[in-house]
Structure 1
Amino acid sequence: MAEQPEKLTKNPHDAYFRHVMSEASAAEGELRTVLPESVAAEMDWDAMELQSCSFVPKELQSRYSDVLYQTRWKGREAFVFVLMEHQSSSDNLMAFRMLEYMVAIWNRYLRKTPGARRLPVVIPVVVHCDPQGRRWSAPTELSDLLDIDPEARAALGDCLPRLRFVLDDLGATDVAALRARQLTEVAKVLLVTLKIAPGNRQLGHDLLPLARELQVLIEHHPREFDQVVTYLWGVGQTDLAGFAPLIDQLGPRAKEMMMTAAEQFRTEGRAEGRVEGRLEGRAESLRDQLIIKFGAVPDRIVSLLRVAEVSQLRNWSARVLTANTLDEVFAE
């Protein structure tokens, strides 16, 4: 087998997304799909160069993942910033967050380009993946966040900031449509598994539409197949027997690779030792508290607890004592 896949247990969504989208060909396919045709036509795709940086603060890394590419657009220097939102609700302040990230990108550019008198274009893209399949419901334009009445909005006119980001809402796109996109097989598998894998108990059945793409990975990109399987073990709830329908389609090599990945995942889980065990124990304890106080806990909350950092679990545990609703516990 090829080299071992990147470890995904700390934050599987972030690691998987960044791993795939750090490959320019995968990012190109996604961007060609979601950007306006006139914008994509002027992009210098051959000049796409991944930047080794992230603008998401540590406290938000369980919710967002990002990649930044430097390229040229219409013959001028430009950046494309892609942010993935992979938690259980749309971020109402996403347009403001994107402005913050764009300013950070420009500041980074000015530090690296002393004497610059103009700023390069930054094209902001958000990929939204709700584990429960809900569609994006928050504003995509900064001006829509401003608390003003229609008359004031009309009077201020061009004085208002109107930043708008490009949204790729996976919750509004079915698996067939994702597979029909002009993407690499690796990118197609990424988007579909991000959409359907978290908390899924029947991945052996639900991944059957991806059999052809997964077969390509097994035959030509085995390391990428390892990466996919490691992600599935990390976020899904399907055991090896539950993968039987898919394994029957993919063959014995797939079964061997999946068993190897499963064992590696278990070994890495044991290697995390007491710290990881305490993290899981804290999450279980918090879930018990939530059940006692509010009754049944939705799957979206269980998924949120599964990938949370210890600081988040600590804050939520404190809020349980005074909160009247689940939303109050998990408010940003």
Structure 2
Amino acid sequence: MPAVPSNPHDAYFRHVLSRPADAAGEIRAALPEDIATRLDWDRLELQPGSFVSPELRSRYTDILYRTRLDDHDAYIYILVEHQSRPDQFMALRMMDYLVKVWNHHLDTHHKPSTLPAVIPLVVHSNGTGRVWNTPTELADLIDLDPAARAALDPYLPRLRFLLDDLAALDLRALRNRDLTPATRVMLILHKITPGNTRLGVDLLALTDDLQAILDGPRGEDEFHCVTRYLFLVGDMATIDFDPLIDRLGPRAKEAIVTTAERLRAEGRAEGRAEGWAEGRAEGRAEERANTLVELLNLKFGPVSTGVVDTVRAADPAQVRVWIGRVLAAASVEDVFA
């Protein structure tokens, strides 16, 4: 069960929430208090792999934790949903994934006589601000008249998943959550980065959390993850980081430059470093085009040469619009609609 997210949004989300200390705050914020107080947070243990089918890994990423609930084995299953339109059949998908978790538990434990509790949590985040508006309970998907529903009620599946709808939260609410700096920055960047042309200024509100990340035990490496996401998803050039660098100092500047160099070495954006370093209009246009092609490849798989030619021939302002659509789009065609 490989767990390799195929787009930068999911990769960043999984990177942060795969650490128990960073995941705990986000999970606590989504759970009812009477459940949260019963969990053993000190025994939160990340489980390997993914339960999402390969064809859907461009749309979802998932994380499984094992812990204890009232001294019984229990799991917390987190599914991240980044699409612009909530999945109408998410409750059905969650049932499928929970059955896979239970089967995995049966396969890896010696003749258990019961099944552990699995707490299902969907974290919904997108760059459009569209809130969740589809059923969170499997029984609500079943087409029945009211009288038939009442008669069948004892026999209907009762699965209901917990929902943390980040799209419905404003930035103040996110900042006030009891989260680690890494988790708070990650959640806020998922809201403010796509299509934001003034991101360099908006990042200043995260100065304290970014400073805490830099000062942490894996400071430079963790800061690289932040800037990598910003370069891949945001409309950012190195010059746009200058106000933030003025506050964070030379370590931040070194990390930003190193990230740009790594992306160039990986072939993420041919010629991008020159555009960033010199701040030239021509380099910025090429950087945006390369970023869009990279995002399309990450989310939808390798795109055709015709799509690449269209992107490179387009006006820079149009490319910026397309970049803003990638996160919400369900297909390549939606980006260019």
- AA aligned opposite 2:209: E
Q: Give the TM-score, by structure 2 length.
A: 0.80
Partner of residue 302, structure 1: 326
Residue number among 14, 19, 24 corresponding to 2:15 in the alignment: 19
Percent identity for Structure 1 against Structure 2: 48
Q: Give the TM-score, by structure 1 length.
A: 0.81
Give the Cα separation in 1 of the matches to 2:186 and 2:101: 26
Partner of residue 323, structure 1: none
Structure 2 unpaired stretches of 5+: 271-292
Residue number among 118, 122, 126 corresponding to 1:126 in the alignment: 122
Deviations 1:130-174 (A, max 9, x none): 121211111111111111121211111121112111111111111
Is contact 1:72–1:78 with CA below 8 Å preserved after alignment?
Answer: yes
Q: Confirm or deny that 1:74 pairs with 2:70.
A: yes
Is contact 2:127–2:191 with CA below 8 Å preserved after alignment?
Answer: yes
- AA aligned opposite 1:284: V
Displacement after TM superposition at 1:248 (Å)? 2.5
Residues 1:280 and 1:266: Cα distance change in structure 2 (over 3 Å): farther
Partner of residue 188, structure 1: 184
Partner of residue 51, structure 1: 47
Displacement after TM superposition at 1:299 (Å)? 6.0
Give the Cα separation in 1 of the matches to 2:309 and 2:47: 38
Residue number among 143, 147, 154 corresponding to 2:143 in the alignment: 147
Partner of residue 5, structure 1: none
Is contact 1:87–1:130 with CA below 8 Å preserved after alignment?
Answer: yes
Is contact 1:70–1:80 with CA below 8 Å preserved after alignment?
Answer: yes
Q: Confirm or deny that 1:157 pairs with 2:153.
A: yes
Give the Cα separation in 1 of the matches to 2:83 and 2:152: 35
Give the Cα separation in 2 of the matches to 1:144 and 1:286: 46
Moved more, 99-108 or 255-264: 255-264
Count of aligned pairs: 299
Give the Cα separation in 2 of the matches to 1:114 and 1:14: 34
Residues 1:45 and 1:191: Cα distance change in structure 2 (over 3 Å): same
Displacement after TM superposition at 1:201 (Å)? 2.3
Give the Cα separation in 1 of the matches to 2:121 and 2:178: 18
- AA aligned opposite 1:303: L
Partner of residue 4, structure 1: none
Displacement after TM superposition at 1:71 (Å)? 0.7
Alignment of 1:289-328 (within 5 A): 301-303=325-327
Residue number among 109, 114, 117 corresponding to 1:113 in the alignment: 109
Q: Confirm or deny that 1:91 pairs with 2:87.
A: yes
Displacement after TM superposition at 1:83 (Å)? 0.7
Is contact 2:263–2:269 with CA below 8 Å preserved after alignment?
Answer: no
Displacement after TM superposition at 1:252 (Å)? 2.8
Is contact 2:6–2:57 with CA below 8 Å preserved after alignment?
Answer: no
Q: Confirm or deny that 1:284 pairs with 2:307.
A: yes
Give the secondary-structure state (helix, strand or coil) at the position aligned to 1:269.
coil
Displacement after TM superposition at 1:78 (Å)? 0.4
Displacement after TM superposition at 1:124 (Å)? 0.4
Moved more, 99-108 or 197-206: 197-206
Structure 1 unpaired stretches of 5+: 1-7, 317-325
Partner of residue 231, structure 2: 233
Is contact 1:124–1:165 with CA below 8 Å preserved after alignment?
Answer: yes
Give the Cα separation in 2 of the matches to 1:155 and 1:286: 59
Moved more, 227-236 or 275-284: 275-284
- AA aligned opposite 1:252: P
Displacement after TM superposition at 1:87 (Å)? 2.1
Is contact 2:59–2:83 with CA below 8 Å preserved after alignment?
Answer: yes
Give the secondary-structure state (helix, strand or coil) at the position aligned to 1:122.
strand
Displacement after TM superposition at 1:245 (Å)? 2.6
Please provide the CA RMSD for this pair.
3.0
- AA aligned opposite 2:12: Y
Moved more, 114-123 or 277-286: 277-286
- AA aligned opposite 2:326: V
Partner of residue 251, structure 1: 249
Residues 1:36 and 1:59: Cα distance change in structure 2 (over 3 Å): same
Displacement after TM superposition at 1:179 (Å)? 1.4
- AA aligned opposite 1:145: L
Partner of residue 25, structure 2: 29
Residues 1:92 and 1:9: Cα distance change in structure 2 (over 3 Å): closer
Displacement after TM superposition at 1:302 (Å)? 3.3
Is contact 1:132–1:300 with CA below 8 Å preserved after alignment?
Answer: no
Partner of residue 223, structure 1: 221
